[in-house]
Structure 1
Amino acid sequence: MIDVRPAVPADAPELVRLRNLMFEAMPTMADLAGPGPWQASTEAILRDRLAVPAERLTMPSFVVDDPGRPGALAACAVGTLEQRLPAPGNPDGRFGFVFNICTDPGHRLRGYARACTEALVDWFDSRRVGRIDLHASSGGEALYRSLGFGEHSVPLSRQRSYD
């Protein structure tokens, strides 16, 4: 059995490390990965968002500890919870987004990403989140489909880079 636990503020540096590994593995992001101001900002946001009481948590995060390195993480899954206005297809108006699933290369193919993602989806389900989105890499698509994720069109998107 894989021991998955909710992330705590002290996990923030490791969550940033895993996030960078995720970027390094993405062909469109690999050149941008590595040290940068985004890391300090990410760590500060994680520490802040993981410190709130459970009933007010909006950045659910689940981790598996690295069994060989105390204080290190083997895998994680992070998401956000947003309260939108209710709609016929989502009467509670809760919307989830999964955006940071990563396993340290030395711990891959052991089910850690699945266990973290299942814990995250269960967290969303327990809060009656009507829709959960994610952007899948080709390597993760089979896992997400096996957990019930499918195609959903997003017709328009706007992206800007602020230096």
Structure 2
Amino acid sequence: MDVRALQPDDLDLVCRHREAMFLEAGYAADTLRTMTAHFRDWLAPRLVDGRYFGFLLMDGDMPVAGIGLMVIDWPPHPAHPTQDKRGYVLNVYVEPTHRKRGLARQLMRLAEADFAQRGLGFTILHATEMGRPLYAGMGWGQTSEMAKKLGD
């Protein structure tokens, strides 16, 4: 598989991967269509200015797996007491036709290397049930994060 960096022209692909990932995780299609429309508007300028970056794995000319990355501001924390940023991994997706070939693991290695090159020593992600074993097997651990939806 060839590797290439995400580009602004990958907007539709990233949106499709994100929606498919959440659909496979059990979210309602109607909710996801709404999410994707808003995500597209959010993502477009970030792909252009590099605040959202990442990689695609290519099978010839066809993108078959992708990962999104961000550097987010975060106050110094016991996990990274001297840094005010952390890496964030999102939208890890492998096309069903190319699963069970180690592509998600390859994407995660690319992400970790990219973050290390940027001088980041701490990275987070939110795992789906499908992804959890992969991440745990690569040394990622559970955190104590909790969430609450406010209002509607």
Normalising by structure 2, report the TM-score: 0.84
Tell me the percent identity: 26
1:56-100 deviations in whole A, cap 9, x for unaligned? x33222111243xx4x42111113211223345421221122221
- Residue ranges of structure 2 left out of the alignment (5+ in a row): none
Post-superposition offset of 1:143? 1.5
Equivalent in the alignment of 1:4: 3
Instruction: Confirm whether residue 58 of structure 1 aligns to residue 43 of structure 2.
Output: no
- Residue ranges of structure 1 left out of the alignment (5+ in a row): none
1:104-151 deviations in whole A, cap 9, x for unaligned? 111111222222221112111112223211222222122112322112
Count of paired positions: 151
Normalising by structure 1, report the TM-score: 0.79
Equivalent in the alignment of 2:33: 36
Asked if 2 retains the 8 angstrom alpha-carbon contact of 1:93 and 1:130, the reply is no
Q: Distance in 2 between matches of 1:46 and 1:87?
A: 28
Give the letter for the 2:86 counterpart.
Answer: F
- Two-structure CA RMSD over aligned residues (Å): 2.3
Higher mean C-alpha displacement, 121-130 vs 79-88: 79-88
Q: Distance in 2 between matches of 1:33 and 1:25?
A: 14
Post-superposition offset of 1:161? 6.7
**In structure 2, do the counterparts of structure 1 residues 33 and 125 end up closer, same or farther at CA, with 3 Å as the change threshold?**
farther
**In structure 2, do the counterparts of structure 1 residues 138 and 8 end up closer, same or farther at CA, with 3 Å as the change threshold?**
same
Asked if 2 retains the 8 angstrom alpha-carbon contact of 1:4 and 1:116, the reply is no
Asked if 1 retains the 8 angstrom alpha-carbon contact of 2:25 and 2:129, the reply is no
**In structure 2, do the counterparts of structure 1 residues 152 and 76 end up closer, same or farther at CA, with 3 Å as the change threshold?**
same
